[in-house]
C-alpha cells in the first residue's frame, strides 16, 4: 500500500499529460490522415509553405500535382495543410 501511494503523483501526472497533450495530438493526426485520404482532383488546397493551387493529379506514391499560377508543381501530400486549406475554401465560399 505504501508503494502505491509513492507512485500516485506520477500516475496522476501521466493521466493529465495523456488527456491534455497526447490524446488531442492523436485526434488531430487522425483528422489530417482523413483529409489526405479524402483529397481528390479539383480540390483547392494550400501547402504548409503557403502555396495555393488546385489538385490536378494524385499518385499512389504519396505525391500530388498542383496547378498554380506559376504552372504545375509536384508536392508530397503531407505538405498540404489541412487548416489553411479549410480556411481558404471557407473564405472563398463567403
Q: pLDDT (tens digit, 0 to 9) for every residue of the chain, 94 residues total? A: 677 788 889 999 999 999 999 999 999 999 999 999 999 999 999 999 999 999 999 999 999 999 999 999 999 999 999 999 999 888 888 7
Q: Return all residues near 78 (Cβ < 8 A) that are at least 6 apart.
A: 36, 62
The tally of domains found in the chain comes to 2
The verdict on 8 and 21 lying in the same domain is yes
Q: What is the enclosing helix (H) or strand (E) of 29?
A: helix 23-38
Using alpha carbons, select from 56, 57, 61, 53 the residue that is nearest to residue 80.
53
For the stretch 53-70, pLDDT in tens is 999 999 999 999 999 999
The verdict on 80 and 44 lying in the same domain is yes
The pTM of this model reads 0.75
Q: Is 50 helix (H, G, I), strand (E, B) or coil?
A: coil
* Model pLDDT, residue 1: 65
- For 80, the domain range is 40-94
Amino acid at each position: 500500500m505504501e508503494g502505491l501511494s509513492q507512485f500516485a503523483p506520477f500516475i496522476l501526472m501521466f493521466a493529465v499529460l495523456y488527456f491534455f497533450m497526447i490524446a488531442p495530438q492523436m485526434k488531430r493526426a487522425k483528422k489530417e490522415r482523413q483529409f489526405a485520404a479524402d483529397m481528390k482532383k479539383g480540390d483547392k488546397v494550400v501547402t504548409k509553405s503557403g502555396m495555393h493551387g488546385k489538385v490536378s493529379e494524385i499518385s499512389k506514391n504519396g505525391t500530388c500535382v498542383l496547378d498554380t499560377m506559376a504552372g504545375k508543381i509536384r508536392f508530397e501530400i503531407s505538405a498540404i495543410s489541412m487548416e489553411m486549406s479549410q480556411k481558404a475554401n471557407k473564405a472563398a465560399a463567403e
